[in-house]
A = this chain, B = another copy of it.
Amino acid sequence: MPTYKAPVEDVLFLLNDVFHLERYNNLPGFADATPDVVQAILAEGAKLCEEVIAPLNRVGDQEGCRRAEDGSVRTPSGFKDAYRAYCEGGWMGISAPAEYGGQGLPTTLNTIMQEFVSSANLAFGMYPGLTQGAIAALYVHGSEEQKRTFLPKMIEGAWTGTMNLTEPHCGTDLGLLKTKAVPNGDGSYAITGTKIFISAGEHDLSENIIHLVLARIEGAPAGTKGISLFVVPKFLLDGEGRPGARNAVSCGALEHKMGIHGNATCVMNYDGAKGWLVGEANRGLNAMFVMMNEARLAVGVQGLAQGEVAYQNAVAYAKERLQGRSLTGPKSPDKPADPIIVHPDVRRTLLSIRAFTEAARALVLWTALRSDVAHRSEDEKERQAAEDHMGLLTPVVKGVLTDLGFDSAVKAQQMLGGHGYIEEWGMSQFVRDARITQIYEGANGIQAMDLVGRKLAKDGGRAVMAFFNEVGAFCQESGADEAMKPYVAPVSQALGHLQQATMWFMNNAMARPDNAGAGAYDYMHLFGLVAMGYMWARMAKAALARKANGGDAAMMDAKLITGRFFMERLLPETAAHLARISAGADAVMSLPAEAF
């Protein structure tokens, strides 16, 4: 049975030593987040995840969700109690606005908790995760009345949220969307259509489910410019704002999936369900993007989270399993064999995961802090820079962290040999669960196109130039420090590769857009490696400083070694990405479709 321990120490190192949380004290909500408070909050969150939510992971996988004939859906045993504990702990609204009942603490804290929950139980974490996304969308685009009606109940967790985009014939290309909205004449609309792959579309955790639904108002333009966003509660509210009559929306079926069995993935049928417009008509995609961007970052965190928990269980096995002898002579001569952690290839595998997860966690926190700045700073320039960063890094975090999170789960499973393939050991579930993160919220190929086709050139390349400047300046400043050289030199070189690739697109993709399309995926990963390399350089600097101050030598040494491993083993991939990008679209595009 797999176990989980939340990486609280590592998070505190990042918040305090690397990102200096105290420097953000001028932002609303941050002054309350003193080091002591943060530590206490994280300890509390860790406990909930380790002791209540993680033990339900396997139960959720085995039982799955069950739909009754009346369309109601039962979540796996224990999920209801765990959800109640989560809500009672105030986790749903930890970073939500105080005016609607939230605690107003930094988003960064919520992001950390998202990692812990997603490691403990990915399928479970999606119920609150989608609710938080819906809260964000309603907060930004809902009317004052909608906010007053829905947000307090959602922030306390009594009501949950969903996002309804996909239809059988359209996922990525929402312009093809068919679900219809017909005005009822009373300000509401009658929504009719079928939505598929709706996570948490129906379940028994909450008193009401608040669906955010994309639909096309009768007579609206074709394509993406005729899509509007509606709020459609499962139960219509009575005069006192309490769930009353059942709305005409129901779960038609549950999907049978490779993983995340504990989450109810529903076919949702809207049969003239009553809904209300959120934001402007025909601007629904714009409104939904608030939720999608939140969700994309959260999904990146899920990828990291599955890599982390898979790593922990692979390490536990590698320390216990006795098999073979070290190449340099027995290390446990009193035992029939050495633990497999003595073998270089086992260590290489484990370090590959760890060098990724620790950098990914840093990247996530860096981005989460920027999100706080974007939402809370009073300085417009600072806000803009933070928003630039978010736009640029969102596809990278989503695409790269989920690809590497999945790879990490596969690598961790491999450490257990045949036992990894047997369900009772739990490693298979990490792999099967992690797999969805590469697919949903925009498949990773779409993230790559978002990065290359949209984010790079936006505002004259302002965001990417700022990123280059920041990484370049850090390398410049730290390059003179002898102890930093093993970190700075490789990152400088990798940054050079990224800049060359960017330049290659500028020179070759205008005239031939397929050159961008054919190189986009490699570019996304190249970008991710540079960003994670930069995170390692900053962590190394912080580790050297803390060590110099006499703190936690063992933990800091581990950081420095893992960082070196990243430079030597993961970062060299940037040259291969650059070579692939520079090869262009010729070989990719010249095969006729029928020859595939």
Contact = CB atoms under 8 A, between A and B. Distances in A.
A593 B339 contact: yes
A542 to B, nearest CB: 18
A313 to B, nearest CB: 12
A443 B412 CA distance: 13
Contact of A257 (B170, B255, B423, B569): B423
Interface residues of A, number: 96
Given A323-B171, A579-B572, A166 B558 contact: no
Nearest to A324: B173
Interface stretch (A25-33, A99-107, A386-394, A433-441): A433-441
Interface stretch (A12-20, A111-119, A348-356): A348-356
B575 A587 contact: no
Interface string A348-377: 111100100000000000000000000000
A418 B197 contact: yes
Contacts of A564: 586-587
A424 interface: yes
A57 B118 CA distance: 33
A72 to B, nearest CB: 22
A315 interface: yes
A345 B515 CA distance: 10
Contacts of A516: 327, 344
A140 interface: no
Nearest to A570: B580
A417 B327 CA distance: 44
Interface stretch (A238-246, A444-452, A477-485): A444-452
A590 interface: yes
Interface string A337-351: 101011111111111
A171 B417 contact: yes
Contact of A588 (B339, B435, B565): B565
A411 to B, nearest CB: 10
A420 interface: yes
A319 interface: yes
A428 interface: yes
A346 B580 contact: no
Nearest to A319: B593
Given A339-B593, A421-B257, A324 B518 contact: no
Interface centre among A173, A348, A435 (most CB of B within 10 A): A348
A595 B445 contact: no
Contact of A258 (B431, B449, B585): B431
Report copies per complex: 2
Nearest to A422: B255
Given A197-B418, A443-B414, A444-B414, A347 B589 contact: yes
A324 B568 CA distance: 40
A569 B583 contact: yes
Given A323-B170, A324-B172, A517 B445 contact: no
Interface in A498-525: 513-514, 516-518, 520-521
A309 interface: no
A256 interface: yes
A549 interface: no
A19 B21 CA distance: 65
Interface string A219-240: 0000000000000000000000
B568 A587 contact: yes
A344 B518 contact: yes
A439 B414 contact: yes
Contacts of A344: 514, 516-518, 520, 585, 588-589
A432 interface: yes
A196 interface: yes
Interface in A552-596: 554, 557-558, 561-562, 564-565, 568-569, 572-573, 575-576, 579-580, 583, 585-593, 595-596
A78 interface: no
A545 interface: no
Contact of A449 (B345, B520, B589, B590): B345
Nearest to A593: B341
Contact of A418 (B166, B176, B410, B557): B166
A439 B423 contact: no
Contacts of A586: 564
Nearest to A168: B419
Contacts of A518: 344-345, 347-348
A500 to B, nearest CB: 14
Interface of A: 166, 169-173, 175-176, 196-197, 255-259, 315, 318-319, 322-324, 327-328, 336-337, 339, 341-351, 354, 406, 410, 413-414, 417-418, 420-424, 428, 431-432, 435-436, 438-440, 443-445, 448-449, 513-514, 516-518, 520-521, 554, 557-558, 561-562, 564-565, 568-569, 572-573, 575-576, 579-580, 583, 585-593, 595-596
13 contacts: A172-B324, A173-B337, A257-B421, A259-B421, A318-B596, A327-B514, A341-B593, A343-B517, A347-B518, A350-B596, A414-B443, A561-B587, A572-B579
Given A172-B323, A414-B443, 11 more contacts: A328-B514, A342-B593, A345-B521, A346-B445, A350-B596, A418-B440, A432-B432, A561-B591, A568-B587, A572-B579, A576-B576
